[in-house]
Amino acid sequence: MRIKCIALDLDGTTLNSQGHLSERNRQMIEQAVEAGIEVAVASGRSLHSLPDEVTGITGIRYAVTSNGAAVYDLKEQKCLRQYKMTADSVIGILACISKESIALETFIDGKPYAEQAYVKDPVRFGATAQSVGYIQGTRKPVEGMEEFILCHREELDCIDIIVKSEEQKQTIWKILQQQVDDVYITSSVRQLLEISHVNAGKDTAAEFLARRLGIRREELAAFGDGHNDCGMLKYAGIGFAVANASEECRNAADRITASNDDDGVAEGIGYILRLNEK
């Protein structure tokens, strides 16, 4: 069966470790578009954090953002589907983490806001040196994030908790699962715990996009590297995990490609184009 749509995770998958799109990945994405394949972004990033070097490629029209909390038509500049967090879940999350040493960020209608101290020095909170430019260039710093989140509790696309260790992340994750309703919890990078509405998730967004495009799930291919990509890779007809993906993500995939620094997306797209020629 021909692949008619490709959903691309960005960080750790389509983008290299420096957070940029390689020339080979760009060329293969362009070849896929020229071959009539719908190429869509599927990211944990907010709308206003998506990189122009990807969304600027002619033919990329759709973007799944905030781990599936919102789906956008980039050409028409309109939101096609959106799930806001419930006010009760937001209050419950803040209650659960009130005694934790963490930082917070949140997205509102695709715009990212983050703890002022985190924006000032992301590395101190566990971010990689390579991601500093991205964080400081996209997040609007806020002093007093808990109060800010409470004031906007009915408007939130998601809440990200910036943790200091994997142990802390897993502890908070377990507590939230036990005590907070109506949430979808995932993680794309080691220092983030990402929370959105229970109906979010890249898999549900991919299903929505497939219905909109009038294609079967077997005609969808997806690429990813983290926990937040697992559902989407399982839903797709072909799920690709890059070599640097987590073990859980690799287990969810049908095929393993080269790493994000070795143009794994280009390798996978080449496979798809050859498959479509048969």
Strands ordered across the beta sheet of 111-115 = 140-142, 111-115, 103-108, 156-162, 192-197, 183-186
Rounded CA-CA distance 232/18 in Å is: 24
In this predicted structure, the answer to whether residue 119 has a pLDDT above a threshold of 80 is: yes
- Which pairing describes strands 103-108 and 156-162: parallel, antiparallel, or unpaired? antiparallel
Domain boundaries in the chain? 5-82+201-277, 87-197
Rounded CA-CA distance 125/190 in Å is: 11
Q: Percentage of the chain with pLDDT > 70?
A: 100
How many degrees, rounded to 5, is the angle at CA 79 between CA 39 and CA 66? 70
Neighbouring C-alpha atoms within 13 Å toward the C-beta of 104: 21
Q: pLDDT tens digits for 248-267?
A: 999 999 999 999 999 999 99
Tokens describing residue 132: 């500093």
Q: Percentage of the chain with pLDDT > 90?
A: 95
Q: What is the CATH number of domain 5-82+201-277?
A: 3.40.50.1000
How many degrees, rounded to 5, is the angle at CA 180 between CA 175 and CA 185? 75
**Burial class of residue 200, CB neighbours in 10 A (0-12, 13-18, 19+):** buried
Q: In terms of pTM, does the model score above 0.75?
A: yes
Q: Is 260 in contact with 17 (CB distance < 8 Å)? A: yes
Q: Domain spanning 87-197: which CATH class is it, in words?
A: alpha beta
In this predicted structure, the answer to whether residue 131 has a pLDDT above a threshold of 90 is: no
97 — alpha (psi -120 to 50), left (phi > 0) or beta? alpha
Q: pLDDT tens digits for 52-78?
A: 999 999 999 999 999 999 999 999 999
Rounded CA-CA distance 64/170 in Å is: 26
Residue type, 219: E
